[in-house]
């Protein structure tokens, strides 16, 4: 298989950027301080061998323990449990045995059904956790009659841990773990200070997946795994939230995010929300549309009529150590077909996947970067993307952008175009040997090409490493051409001046 290693050198950022993260920086565990520990079966007479609803007894245990000075721990032993709309309260810690399975009680036609809700209904919930006693516990939502099922929802929660959940899905229509905004004491608020780690999902819907955060501050995601959908969706698309201009993701960190047979490992999409800094280290995708999707902000008609401008993420944001493995049965929607190389479009399936929205199709690229430059007013922002590796992508670059879209495949060669083996820009010495000065190089996408060879008839073209021509803005002057490719993704580009070729690096 062909291995393409693309390394992008990035500048220095704020003190927080690229720093190692520790769970204790985000969550302080108080489970050792609880006033009382109970067993849900032994102390509250839950029958964990039938299929009856157990919600009332678990809620009673929560209500009893939250009244104590330091709250309590509820052990949920081996067995099967049926829960719905459990209201987790402050200082409550659920510890679930690895051989326990949680099922949703039939939600009827409720379109906003949740098994566990934290910080909902205008209250502030603090110092809570849901975790396994060891390894992972199971939540099986695959047979739910109503597909609108959330496993855990957080609204206004401080100091929380969600860990060790293994979700068995079958194309339900919510992400398993969701974070949204709430109203508390007359103000719009969100959850903050928490850790979500060692969680996974199987058979997720293209449009959902393991985690979606609409509103969150200072949270660390670690070791999260998905099969189908998006494992970590930082998409702030809720209409009401965008119209109110509240919520968003701020000071978010993630380490080790994986997806297979899905849409994307990580999706970053601001819509009209003004988000803060995010930093993701370690993304891997196997047979998945993208390892990382980084989309620009935009506004809907209603938002535009309210004078709202497109959203963005902070220009200090970082995505690094990204790896994508090619496969041919990823979840891909038709809106991304134009990014699939022409040579393999015949592999796009003709019938929907079980989710009814996506098609089985070749993995598109390791990174789709559509955030553009740093012009926040137009919904563009900068994410420093580095250390990207693509494995098995015979016809595709590691990082692609909006200009990689191809409508007409008639002029695309059947055979792959081998890129230059070097991922470095052409050296200053080699450029001088060719009779050129290129400065700055590396650049932010704005650079100058100077040579006595340049005349008014000179033709300058810019290509991606795979030979696809892009459309730079050119300003010709005497023996110098100013080139602007700031709207294109970071990476190595090949510049051709009247037949002379050299490489430049856009950071």
Q: For residues 12 and 476, what is the distance between their CA atoms, to the nearest angstrom? A: 32
Average pLDDT over residues 376-395: 90
399 strand-pairing partners = 367
What is the rounded CA–CA span in Å between residue 433 and residue 442? 19
Mean pLDDT of the chain: 90
pLDDT (tens digit per residue) in 223-272: 999 999 999 999 999 999 999 999 999 999 999 999 999 999 999 999 99
Is the pLDDT score of 102 beyond 80?
yes
Query: Please, which pLDDT band fits residue 3 given cuts at 50, 70 and 90?
Result: very low
Pair 100, 132: CB distance under 8 Å: no
**Residues 366, 399: contact at Cβ < 8 Å?**
yes
DSSP 238-299: -HHHHHHT--EEEEEEEEEEEEESSSEEEEEE-TT-B---EEEEEEEEESSSEEEEE-----
Over residues 148-171, mean pLDDT: 96
Give me the pLDDT at residue 488, please: 84
Question: What is the pLDDT, as a whole number, of residue 420?
Answer: 44
Query: Which tokens sit at 321?
Result: 């150590």
**CA 66/CA 59 separation, integer angstroms:** 11
Q: Is 449 exposed, middle or buried (0-12, 13-18, 19+ CB in 10 A)?
A: buried
Its pTM stands at 0.82
**Bigger pLDDT: 414 vs 235:** 235
Which residue would you say has higher pLDDT here, 78 or 490?
78
Q: Walk me through the domains of the chain, giving residue ranges and CATH numbers.
A: 3-26+175-404 (2.160.20.10), 428-506 (2.60.40)
Write the DSSP symbol of residue 460.
Answer: E
SS3 for 303?
A: helix
Contact indicator for 154, 189 with CB cutoff of 8 Å: no
From 14-18, 51-55, 71-75, the region with the lowest mean pLDDT: 14-18
């Amino acid at each position: 298989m062909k291995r393409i290693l693309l390394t992008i050198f990035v500048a220095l950022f704020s003190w927080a950027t690229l720093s190692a993260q520790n769970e204790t920086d985000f969550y302080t565990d108080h489970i050792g301080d609880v006033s009382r520990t109970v067993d849900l079966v032994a102390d509250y007479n839950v029958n964990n061998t039938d299929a009856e609803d157990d919600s009332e007894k678990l809620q009673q245990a929560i209500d009893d323990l939250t009244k104590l000075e330091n709250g309590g721990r509820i052990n949920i032993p081996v067995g099967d449990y049926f829960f719905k709309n459990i209201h987790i309260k402050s200082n409550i810690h659920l510890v679930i045995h690895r051989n326990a399975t949680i099922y949703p009680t039939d939600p009827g036609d409720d379109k906003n059904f949740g098994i566990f809700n934290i910080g909902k209904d205008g209250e502030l919930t603090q110092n809570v956790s849901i975790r396994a006693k060891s390894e992972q516990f199971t939540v099986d939502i695959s047979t739910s009659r109503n597909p609108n099922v959330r496993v855990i929802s957080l609204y206004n929660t401080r100091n929380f841990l969600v860990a060790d959940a293994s979700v068995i899905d079958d194309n339900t229509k919510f992400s398993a773990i969701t974070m949204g905004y709430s109203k508390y004491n007359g103000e719009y608020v969100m959850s903050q200070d928490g850790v979500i780690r060692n969680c996974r999902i199987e058979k997720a819907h293209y449009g959902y997946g393991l985690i979606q955060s609409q509103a969150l501050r200072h949270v660390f995601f670690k070791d999260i795994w998905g099969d189908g959908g998006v494992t970590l969706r930082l998409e702030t698309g809720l209409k009401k939230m965008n119209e109110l201009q509240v919520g968003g993701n701020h000071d978010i960190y993630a380490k080790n995010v994986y997806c297979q047979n899905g849409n994307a490992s990580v999706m970053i999409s601001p819509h009209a929300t003004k988000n803060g800094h995010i930093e993701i280290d370690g993304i891997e995708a196997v047979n998945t549309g993208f390892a990382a999707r980084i989309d620009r902000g935009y506004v809907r008609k209603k938002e535009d009529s309210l004078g709202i401008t497109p959203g963005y993420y902070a220009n200090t944001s970082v995505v690094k150590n990204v790896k994508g493995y090619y496969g041919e049965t990823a979840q891909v929607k038709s809106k991304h077909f134009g990014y699939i190389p022409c040579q393999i479009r015949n592999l796009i399936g003709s019938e929907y996947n079980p989710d009814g929205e996506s098609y089985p199709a070749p993995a598109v690229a390791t990174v789709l970067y559509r955030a553009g430059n740093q012009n926040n007013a137009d919904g563009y922002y900068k994410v420093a993307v580095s250390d990207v590796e693509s494995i098995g992508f015979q016809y595709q670059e590691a990082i692609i952008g909006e200009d990689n879209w191809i409508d007409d495949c008639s002029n695309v060669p059947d055979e792959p175009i081998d890129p230059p083996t070097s991922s470095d820009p052409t050296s200053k010495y080699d450029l001088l040997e060719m009779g050129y000065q290129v400065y700055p190089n590396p650049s932010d996408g704005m650079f100058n090409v100077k040579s006595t060879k340049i005349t008014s008839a000179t033709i300058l073209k810019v290509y991606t490493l795979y030979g696809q021509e892009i459309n730079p803005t050119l300003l010709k002057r005497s023996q110098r051409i100013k080139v602007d490719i700031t709207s294109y993704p970071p990476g190595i580009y090949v510049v051709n001046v009247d037949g002379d070729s050299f490489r430049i690096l856009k950071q």
